[in-house]
Each structure stands twice: as C-alpha cells, then as structure tokens.
C-alpha cells in the first residue's frame, strides 16, 4: 500500500517538476486533498443521513416506549432494556427468530447453494442452447421485480385453480396456508439461486481442467473429483457465497408478499415481524428493539465476510 503510494508520489513529483507545475500534488489528476474530500462529501452526507442516522436511531427508539399513536407518540418515555426483555419473553418473537433460521438454512444455505452448485456443475457440459435457456430462466427469476414474482407464486400455489395443484392432482390444496414455511423456502430457492449459480460458474471456470483430467484418468469417480479436486479450489467461493446469500435471505422482505407472515404467525420471519409490529401495529419502540437485534446479527455476518475479503487480498 505505502510502497505504491510512494511510487505514485515520486512519479507525480517528477511529472510536476518536468512540467514546471506544482510539486505538492500527490494524485494523478492534481485534485489535492481538499478538493478530493469535497468530492467525497456529498456521497458521505447521504450515507450518513440515510444509513448511519437510522442505525443510531434504532438504538435510541429501542429504549423508549414510542408508539405511532396515543400518548406515547407525543412524549415517549425512556424504558431502558424493557423492549429487549419483552422481546426475549415474547413467544411471537422467539417463533419469528426460529422461522428466520429455518428460512435461511432451508432456502439459502441448503436450497440456493445446492441448486446453484448443481446448475453450475452440470451446465458446463451441456449444449450451448440448453445452457442459455436454463440460465436465462434462472436469472429472470432473480431480476424480475419482487411484486411480480410474488404474485406469480401466489397464482402458482393457489388452491383455487393454481397450476401446481392441477399438475399434482391435489385440487384445492392451499399451499400458502397449509405449508407456509415450505412455500416461502421453495419460493426463495427459486428466486435467489441465480447468484450462487453465477458465482460457482466463475469459480469452476478457474479449476484447472488438467487436474480434473488426471483425477479421472486415475479412476476417480465424480464424487471423488468433486471432493478432492474441485472443493479445495472453490472453498473460498463457497464461504463467500454462503455469507452473502445468508445475509440477503435474512433481510428478505418478500415472504410478506406471499403470506404476510400468516396464517397466524406461521411464516412470520423477522423482517415481516418488524413490519407487522412496528409499522402496522404502531409499536415503534418495540419494533426498533427487534431491528437493533437484526442489525447486530447482520454485523456478525458482515464482519465474517469482511475478514474473509481481507484474508484473500
């Protein structure tokens, strides 16, 4: 880092000296620190206002009994850690935490990782046309607006003439009401596999074909090849992928569009729980305490991720 910077300084000095210009500039375009800071400032102000302030505000609101309406709306009182102890004692919150864990485990760590890897692995060898058709479908599921895909799944799983029932001959099964968690887990696997597929495709592209070839010549089966040749090469990618998709799935709001957390809290993951409690139910203080717990969990995942990035640089 410093070595590069020093070299930059030196070459700039030389350039400046040759041109007879100012010698004090250390940057290529000759911005100078003050102007550079001025260019960074607008972005930082926005980030500060709409990310840092809200994060800090979560902490403040979380220790008050703030509500959307009523007396507590006018002058909220400091209640200390009451919201947090209330949350830990709230069966709905514990239920929601458990459902979120299931959702992340089922749809991200198992569903998207396995489907993404299986797709990346098999699509290497299939004809180009098949490959691009499959990739396009998987990618569209990922990039289409969430309102549309949510409605597509509501229609697909509907008990009133939905396509899934027509195919399985299970007429009248309301999947979203009878199996809400399974439904949103399958939905999110469908929705998010594209990222894992792309990442593993790139990772597999970096595995030297010669090593795979020699393993095959040595009589290694597909499983042995995967375990002994491929896995050591892509271990870092697997970890990166797991952390990122866990983070995104943990913060995903689309279950709300499918089940709104119901029936009777049966699919109320944390983001939906916060929405229902704070913005729908008006308990802003309590909702903020839960948000703060969410921020902490995000922080833990993000710290792992950043450490991983630093190690690889």
Partner 1 sequence: MRTRSVVGRLALVAFLAAVLAFWALPMLWLVTAPFDSQPGLDVSWPDWTLANFQKLSENPYAFSSLQNSVYLAVGTMLGVTALAALAAYSLSRVRIPGRNGILYGLLLLSSIVTGTAAMVPIFQLMFQLNLIDDRSGVILVLTGGLLPAAIFILKDFMDATPKSYEESARVFGASPTQVLRHVVLPIVRPGLATIAVWALVNVWSDFLTAYILLRDPAKIPAGVVMYTFYSEGGQANLPLISAFSLVYALPVVALYLFVNRRYGFRFHGGIKS
Please list every residue from 52 through 111 that binds partner 1, using CB under 8 A.
52-55, 57-58, 61
Rg, the chain, Cα only = 26
Helix (H, G, I), strand (E, B) or coil at 127: coil
User: What residues does 64 pair with on adjacent strands?
Assistant: 78
Count the site residues for partner 1 by CB under 8 A.
111
Site string for partner 1, 213-252 (x = CB under 8 A): ------------------------x--x---x--x---xx
- The residue from 10, 24, 46, 81 that contacts partner 1 (CB under 8 A) is 46
- The residue from 86, 102, 182, 295 that contacts partner 1 (CB under 8 A) is 295
CA atoms of 219 and 229, how far apart (whole Å): 13
Select from 78-86, 175-183, 225-233, 295-303 the region that touches partner 1 (CB under 8 A): 295-303
- The residue from 23, 110, 144, 231 that contacts partner 1 (CB under 8 A) is 144
Largest Cα–Cα separation, the chain: 84
- Per the structure block, which two tokens stand in for 196? 């894992």
Please list every residue from 185 through 214 that binds partner 1, using CB under 8 A.
190, 198-199, 201-202, 205-206
H or E segment at 11? Answer: helix 2-19
User: CB of residue 89 vs partner 1: minimum separation in angstroms?
Assistant: 20
Contact predicate 295/127, CB 8 Å:
no
Q: 296 Cβ partners below 8 Å, 6+ apart?
A: none
Please list every residue from 4 through 23 that binds partner 1, using CB under 8 A.
5, 8, 11-12, 15-16, 18-19, 21
Please list every residue from 110 through 139 that binds partner 1, using CB under 8 A.
118-119, 122, 125-126, 130, 133-139
Q: 304 Cβ partners below 8 Å, 6+ apart?
A: 243
């Amino acid at each position: 880092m410093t070595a590069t910077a020093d070299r930059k300084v030196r070459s700039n000095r030389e350039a400046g000296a040759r041109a007879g210009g100012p010698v004090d500039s250390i940057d290529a375009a000759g911005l100078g620190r003050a102007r550079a800071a001025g260019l960074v400032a607008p972005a930082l102000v926005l980030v500060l206002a709409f990310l840092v302030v809200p994060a800090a505000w979560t902490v403040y609101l979380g220790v008050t009994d703030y509500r959307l309406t009523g007396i507590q709306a006018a002058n909220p009182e400091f209640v200390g850690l009451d919201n947090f102890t209330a949350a830990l004692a709230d069966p709905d919150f514990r239920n929601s935490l458990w459902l979120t864990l299931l959702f992340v485990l089922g749809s991200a760590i198992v569903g998207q990782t396995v489907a993404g890897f299986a797709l990346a692995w098999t699509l290497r060898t299939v004809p180009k046309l098949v490959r691009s058709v499959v990739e396009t479908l998987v990618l569209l599921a990922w990039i289409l607006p969430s309102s549309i895909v949510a409605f597509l799944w509501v229609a697909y799983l509907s008990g009133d003439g939905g396509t899934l029932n027509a195919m399985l001959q299970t007429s009248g099964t309301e999947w979203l009401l009878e199996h809400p968690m399974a439904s949103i887990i399958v939905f999110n696997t469908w929705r998010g596999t594209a990222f894992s597929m792309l990442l593993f495709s790139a990772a597999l592209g970096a595995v030297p074909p010669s090593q795979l070839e020699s393993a095959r010549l040595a009589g290694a089966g597909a499983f042995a090849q995967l375990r002994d040749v491929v896995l050591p090469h892509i271990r870092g990618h697997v970890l990166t992928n797991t952390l990122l998709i866990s983070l995104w799935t943990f913060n995903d709001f689309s279950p709300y569009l499918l089940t709104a957390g119901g029936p009777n809290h049966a699919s109320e993951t944390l983001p939906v729980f916060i929405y229902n409690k704070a913005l729908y139910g008006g308990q802003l203080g309590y909702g903020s305490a839960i948000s703060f717990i969410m921020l902490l969990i995000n922080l833990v995942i993000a710290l792992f991720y950043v450490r991983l990035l630093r190690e690889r640089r």
